[in-house]
A and B are shown apart, each in its own frame.
Chain A
Amino acid sequence: MSEHTHHEILIVGGGLSGLRAAVAAHDAGRDVAVMSKVYPIRSHSGAAQGGVNASLGNHPEGEDDTWQRHAFDTIKGSDYLADQPRAEVLAREAPERVLEMEHWGAYFSRFEDGRIAQRPFGGAGFPRTCFAADRTGHHLLHTMWQQCLKRGIRFYHEWQLTDIAVDDGRTCGVVALHLPTGQLGEFGASVVILAGGGHGRIYSSTTNAYINTGSVTAAAYFAGARLEDMEFVQFHPTTLYGTNILISEGVRGEGGLLYNRDGRRFMGDYAPSVMELAPRDIVARAIRTEVLEGRGFEGEYVHLDIRHLGAETITTRLPGIRQIAMDFAGVDPIETPIPVQPGQHYSMGGVSSDENGQTDVEGLLAVGECSCVSVHGANRLGGNSLLETLVFGKRAGDRAVELLEDRGPSSGRSALARTILERSNAIEELIARDGGERQGAVRREMQELMTEHVGVYREKESLGRAVRGLLDLRERYESVRVDGMVRPLNYDLVDTLELGGMLELAYVTALGALHRTECRGSHWRTDHPGRDDANWMKHTMATLGPDGMPVVSYEDVIVTDYEPTERKY
């Protein structure tokens, strides 16, 4: 049994990117709907803490800030892998998008004169990061959700995307599983915008929510879209020791200091001019080095100390961080340093798309963390991901409207019917399987392989082990069994479906890392020191081959105004 619905524009994912795209399409008078596997306000956008970058020039030390400086910082931070005209779009449209959120009711922290407050962030030449205490993502996500409610935008709650239907090279809709009933449904659409977020859960140590499995990214890959720069994985330097819950870069922006076991403020040895406010890849490597060389605590973590900021600053600027440290590590940062270690945080790679979200598949757009525009290149600057959702969310919504005007509706009913039938058969086969191991064991081994071998420091032999291990896990996946015959809310079934995609994303990530024989941004090969601009000013592209294995190719980075130079801080 299934139901069929149709919308001109269907958005998959209810985080900030998806909602912003929905608002844009709705305001152009188009029939748009949003599908999400969780209620939109549960999306991981809400967990973003530190802020959103825009060259507003509100900070006394940032009055000379311009969008061009923001673009330059973004490109330098990317270790020159960003496509430069696209990074310029991000920076140029930032002030308008951020001010719009204020006009729509977002709460922002303010300076005494009432203007939006800004704080320093890593890799930024000026204090440029606008914030709402340390809950910026929460405030932006809820405000955007409120704007969707105001407009009466149609939502499909708790629908999990399983497949993107493509008819003669053109997207014609999606198939999805309704979690509360366990039924499959067809959703016809002339344009589909993917906004499914990142895939950090392919790692065991990650700040990401459990829901960040990359199911939308994987569906795009299976539908023929290319994945770009998947080997570039951001490890956030400061995640809470134990649970890896994010401890915002805003903590260092407010003056937090890093110390090793010997009480040394070690960032002076790695980035003497900016210290704790070096970009994330540099700080993450510094912490790993301290720990690997025996100067960490318990062989695992370092201290992030904010005691000197005082209770007043901590409770007004960093209340969420204090609560997290107390709830999840049992320490009150007013009195005790926070134990931190690097953890997977953000996927720079994703579905290859341009500055309007266009992927390689006609009628299929991608935006936000599931996409790779590429503006973050080899290392994303803090405060640029919330910004990316706003800027490119709107642009993708606008582009979807243009596509409708240019090309009219797609039909593709038969392709949709075929897709849902295939998915339905695959699920029946999965449920009918006897014996076999449970998906949980395969998932855990994948996550541990990725953390151990495709982490902050990488090297040929270790990456080779990851690639071979993942091939083995892909094989074991073919015979996992699903628990329980219950259809409504069968999480074991959903987890199993998602794991298939996660294994592909993990494999493409490890393979890209093995092939890229240089150090650039977050990708650090101990056996290939130094950035190699002569050979590697290139994006890695992976396409699903006819034999089910990825085909890897390369495309030149778009360089316009900024010649790559040595990246020093």
Chain B
Amino acid sequence: MAARTFTFRIERYDPDADGMPRTVDYDLEAGEGTTVLEALLRVQSEQDGSLAFRYACRGAVCGSCAMLINGDVALACRTQVHGLGTDVVTVGPVPNLPVIRDLVVDLGPFFEKDESVRPWLVPSGPDPERERLVKPDEWGEAEPYTNCILCASCYGACPVPARDPDYLGPAALAKHYRFLADPRDGADEDRLALVAGEHGVAACDVVWRCVRVCPKGVTPTKGILATRERLGEGEK
């Protein structure tokens, strides 16, 4: 397998020392199959122990390592260095969230928005003794939305938060739709009210960027459009 030298152009920022983020180049030889996460870990252990970034599972299930790689938001653990097609690889933090240091952003605002849509099941009736029966074809639209790992890739790729910081964003609205579409949930009216304001589904630009970057095949834009339709029905 051919190993090649890549230049990792990494955005560094230390709020205590730097007025503005700066970029630092690290050259690294990377074999076929090397992921961006592995490359960053090698930079950290071989060249600069002060480089900060989040990671955990390295298998694209925990959602820790979303970042901006060559201009696109992606999970570093599932992005192959050789697959990027460039010798210089630019790496920066997820956009639309405040940077704590280097590639680590403050996820507080992101999680607050998730929480604001009341992301838990409100059952339509008392719990039965056994499981609620849901035939495989009755999940309808809900199932794909349950696969969201809250990595914030979609939030970073969305054009809206830059001009409307209060916009709930694609992840929270997808989570909202996950419960709206769940056949076991009985709180549709209350749920719809949560996203009916100007920072809710109405604020979406419908440019499908969230759908394009989602590492789990979730389709927030579709859920947002379906929610808009439900809201429209309510107005009649």
B121 CB to closest chain A CB (Å) equals 3
The smallest beta-carbon distance between A330 and chain B, in angstroms, is 8
Contacts of A139 in B (CB 8 A): 146
Interface size on A, residues (CB 8 A): 58
State A38–B65 Cα separation when bound (angstroms). 12
Residue total for B at the interface (Cβ-Cβ under 8 A): 56
Interface contact A102-B120, CB-CB below 8 Å:
no
Question: Is there an interface contact between B56 and A211, defined as CB atoms closer than 8 Å?
Answer: yes
**Does A135 lie at the interface of the complex (its beta carbon under 8 Å from any beta carbon of B)?**
yes
B100 and A209 within 8 A (CB): no
Q: Are A327 and B61 in contact (CB under 8 A)?
A: no
Contact A488/B101 with A324-B59, A482-B49 known, Cβ cut-off 8 Å? yes
B131 lies within 8 A of chain A by Cβ: yes
Mark contacts of B48-92 with chain A using CB atoms, 8 A cut-off: 1 yes-contact digit, 0 otherwise: 111110111111111110000000000000100000000000000
A489 touches B56 (CB 8 A): no
Q: Measured between C-beta atoms, what is the minimum distance from A62 to chain B in Å?
A: 15
Bound: A492/B60 CA distance, A: 23
Contact, CB under 8 Å: A44 / B60: no
Q: A499 in the interface, Cβ–Cβ < 8 Å?
A: no
Q: Which of A107, A245, A484 contacts B49 (CB 8 A)?
A: A484
Q: Is A255 an interface residue (CB 8 A)?
A: no
Residues 15 to 68 of chain B near chain A (Cβ within 8 Å)? 16, 33, 44-46, 48-52, 54-64
A interface list, Cβ under 8 A from B: 38-39, 41-44, 46-47, 99, 102-105, 107-116, 132, 135, 138-139, 142-143, 146-147, 149-150, 180, 209-211, 242-243, 245-246, 320, 323-324, 327-328, 330, 438, 440, 482-484, 486, 488-492
B203 within 8 A of A: no
Contact with A along B145-157 (1 / 0, CB 8 A): 0111110000000
Given A110-B133, A138-B149, 10 more A-B residue pairs with CB atoms under 8 Å apart are A38-B62, A47-B57, A103-B123, A104-B121, A112-B136, A142-B148, A146-B120, A211-B56, A330-B33, A484-B49
Which chain A residues lie closer than 8 Å to B57 at the CB level?
A: 42, 44, 46-47, 209-211
Partner of B14, one of A320, A330, A486: A486
Contact indicator B143/A245 (Cβ below 8 Å): no
Contact status B136-A210, CB under 8 Å: no
What residues of B have a CB within 8 angstroms of the CB of A246 in the complex? 59
Q: Quick check: A327 and B78 within 8 Å, CB to CB? A: yes
Please, how many angstroms separate the alpha-carbon atoms of A150 and B119 in the complex?
A: 8
Give complex CA distance A330, B127 in Å: 44
B132 to chain A: which residues have CB within 8 Å?
102-103
Q: How far is the CA of A212 from the CA of B167 in the complex (A)?
A: 35
**Are B52's CB and A491's CB within 8 A?**
yes
Tell me whether chain B's interface is mostly helix, strand or loop, or mixed: loop
Which residue on chain B has the smallest CB distance to residue A139?
B146
Shortest Cβ distance from residue A18 to the other chain B in the assembled complex, whole angstroms: 15
- 12 A-B residue pairings within 8 Å (CB atoms): A44-B62, A103-B123, A105-B184, A110-B133, A110-B134, A210-B55, A324-B60, A327-B78, A440-B45, A483-B49, A484-B48, A490-B52
C-alpha spacing A537/B121, complex, angstroms: 46
Complex Cα–Cα for A242 and B34 (A): 11
Using known A-B contacts A41-B63, A245-B58, A438-B49, determine if residue A105 contacts B182 with beta carbons closer than 8 Å.
yes
**Counting CB contacts under 8 A, is B164 at the interface?**
no
Does B135 reach chain A (CB closer than 8 Å)?
yes
A105 surroundings in chain B (CB, below 8 A): 120-121, 123, 179, 182, 184-185
Of A135, A210, A324, A488, which is within 8 A of B147 by CB?
A135
In the complex, the answer to whether B133 meets A114 with C-beta atoms within 8 Å is yes
Q: How far is the CB of A319 from chain B (nearest CB, A)?
A: 8
Q: Which parts of B129-183 form the interface with A (CB within 8 Å)?
A: 130-136, 138-139, 142-143, 146-150, 179, 182
Could you say which residues of chain A place their CB within 8 Å of the CB of B60? 323-324, 327
Q: Are A103 and B127 in contact (CB under 8 A)?
A: yes
Once bound together, how far apart are the Cα atoms of A482 and B44, in whole Å?
12
Q: Within 8 Å CB of A110, what residues of B?
A: 133-136
Q: Are B120 and A149 in contact (CB under 8 A)?
A: yes
